[in-house]
Amino acid sequence: MVASDPITADYVIVGAGTAGCVLADRLSEDGRAQVALLEAGGDDLRLRIRMPIGYGLSFYDPRINWMYGTRPDAALNGRQGYWPRGRVVGGSGSINAMVHVRGLKSDYDDWAAAGNPGWAWRDVAPYFDRALARVPGNDVSDEVHALCRNFVAAGEALGFAHRADLNTGDGEGIGTYPIATRGGFRLSSARAYLALARSRANFRLIKRALATRILFDGRRAVGVEYRTGSDTRVIRARREVIVATGSIETPKLLQLSGIGPAELLKRHGIAPLLDSPAVGRHMQDHLCVDHLYRARVPTLNQVFGTWSGKIAAALRYALTRGGPLSLSVNQAGGFVRSREGLARPDMQLYFSPLSYTRIPAGTRPLMRPDPFPGFLLSAQPCRPTSRGHIEIASADASVAPAIHPNSLATDADIEALLDGAALLRRLAAAPGLREVIDTELAPGPSVDGRDAMLADIRARAGTVFHPVSTSRMAPDIATGVVDARLRAHGLERLRIADASVFPYVTSGNTNLPTIMLAEKAADLILDRTPPASAEGV
C-alpha cells in the first residue's frame, strides 16, 4: 500500500543515529527550518540501553540491533564476523561500549592532506570542543576496578606516559578511558542532542521508518521514500536530504537509490542514476587481538558471575548510580607506540578486568564471565591499510547488505597485529601486571614465535566495531562519494554526514569523532562561519 506523508520539511535527515541526532538538534535550534528525522528503529527508553553495562544485553537484541553478519573472511580462517549496529534512536551510540576519545591530532591532518580542506586538526578541534561540551566524557577513574592501576603501572614500566585525561594533549599515553555517561546513565547523542530537538514545534521524528530510496528530480534530491509497517510513504525536502544512516546502511541506501557502481546496480535490476564507483568501497575497520589471563586477585568475574556479586552491584547502582553497572568493561587503555622509531602511536590498548573463555551462543560474553578471576588485555592497530567493501545483496531494502571485511589483506596489517600481540606479552611481564597473573590462558604459553602467533591471530582476532569510509570524503567521484562540504559528488541537495564519510579511520573509537563531524556538518549545511581555530591545543 502506498500512502503520501502529509509533511514536507526543509531538511529531511535519514537516520537517528549518533550523527543524525546531532544534526536534528543543530538544524532545528533557531526555529527557522522545518526538520524531519527518519529512524528505522524504535525509541531508546529501555533500561538496558540507559544503564551503561546493559549494552551486554543489547548485543544480540534484534529489536534494537541490526545484528549484521559478514561474508567469510579469508585471512581469518574463513570466519564470518558478527557486526552489531544500533537500530534504535541513538543508533550505535545507544548500544556501544561508550569509550569517548578523539583519537590523535594527526588523524585529522591526514584527512586534510588527502584533499579535504577544512578537516585538519586546527579546523576540527573547535568542533570537538563543542561536542565535548555537550557530551563531555565522564571521568570514572574513581569507579574503575582496582586492577586498572596495575595496568597503568605496567604501562609506565614500559615507558608509556600516564594521562589523567586521554582527551587532552596529542592523545598519546595510557590511563582510564572517559566514557559517555552522565549521572550513571548512558549519554548518547539521542539524550544529549535529540532530547532538545523533540521539544520544538519545527521538528518531527518519524520512528520505525525504513528508508527504501532517495527520490530525485533529475540529479537533485527532493525527498525520501520509506516503509512503515505495510505502508510505503514519501516525505519531501525543500532544501536538502541528509543521509546519516551509518557506514553500513548509508552505502546500501545510496545503491538502492541508483547511486553506486553501475555494474552492481544493474545486476540487481536497479537503473543507475549516477555511476559512483566509491560507494561501498574503501571500508576500513579496527581489528583487535585479545590475550586472556587467569588472575591471582578478584576481578569483575566475581561480580558478574555470582548472584551475590550481581545483587551487590545492583543495590549500589540503585542507591548511588555508581559501581560496575555504571561503567564500560573497557575501563583502561590508551594510545602507544608498539616499538621504537615510530613517528606516532600505532596501537590502541584496552584493559578489561573480566574474562570469558567460553561464549554461550547468542549471549554477550560479559554477562557470563569465567567462574575464576581473570582479565583481558587487547591491542588494536590504529590505522589499518586493508580495505573491504559493502554492496547490496538485493533490491529489497529489508535485506541486509553483503559485508566483505577483507581483513589482514596487507603485509603491513599482519605485522601490526603481530606487534600488538608482542606488546601484550611485554605488558603482562612488566611490574604491575606480572604479580597478579596466574597464567596466560589465551593464546597460552605454548603459542610462541611468529608463525604460531599469526595462526592465533587468524583464529581469534575480531572487529572492534569501527567500520568507516564506505562513502568517503575525497576530491573527486573516482575516489570518493562526497566533497569537503559533505555534498554528494555529481548530485544536488544531497549530503552525507556520518562515519561513512571518514577519509580514514581514526586511531581510536569512532563515536566522538562522529559527533564532531555532525557538529561541523551542521555549520556547513547552514553556511555558518566556523568557530575560531584551535591550532596548538
Q: How far is CA 22 from CA 37, 120, 127, 188, 261, in A?
A: 11, 21, 12, 10, 30
Pairing relationship of beta strands 462-463 and 287-295 according to DSSP bridges: antiparallel
The length of the chain in residues reads: 537
Peptide bond just before 443 cis, omega within 30 deg: yes
The one catalytic residue in 100, 389, 404, 466 is 466
**Coil, helix or strand for 88?**
strand
Q: How far apart are CA 474 and CA 155, in angstroms?
A: 38
CB 331 within 8 A of CB 473: no
Cell 585529522 locates to 108
From the list 400, 416, 512, the residue with the least C-alpha distance to 461 is 416
Which cell numbers in the block locate residue 147? 586492577
In eight-state DSSP terms, residue 218 is T
Which residues are 495's β-sheet partners? 242, 487
From the list 527, 479, 69, the residue with the least C-alpha distance to 279 is 479
Question: Please, what's the largest Cα pairwise distance for the chain?
Answer: 68
In eight-state DSSP terms, residue 86 is B
Residue 268 is a catalytic residue: no
CB 502 within 8 A of CB 520: no
Q: How far apart are CA 69 and CA 462, in angstroms?
A: 13
CB 24 within 8 A of CB 255: no
Which cell numbers in the block locate residue 309? 556479586
Pairing relationship of beta strands 203-206 and 8-14 according to DSSP bridges: unpaired
Peptide bond just before 360 cis, omega within 30 deg: no
Q: How far apart are CA 392 and CA 257, in angstroms?
A: 11
Q: How far apart are the first and last CA of the chain?
A: 55
Cell 561480580 locates to 303
Q: How far apart are CA 438 and CA 445, in angstroms?
A: 12
Q: Could you list the active site residues?
A: 466
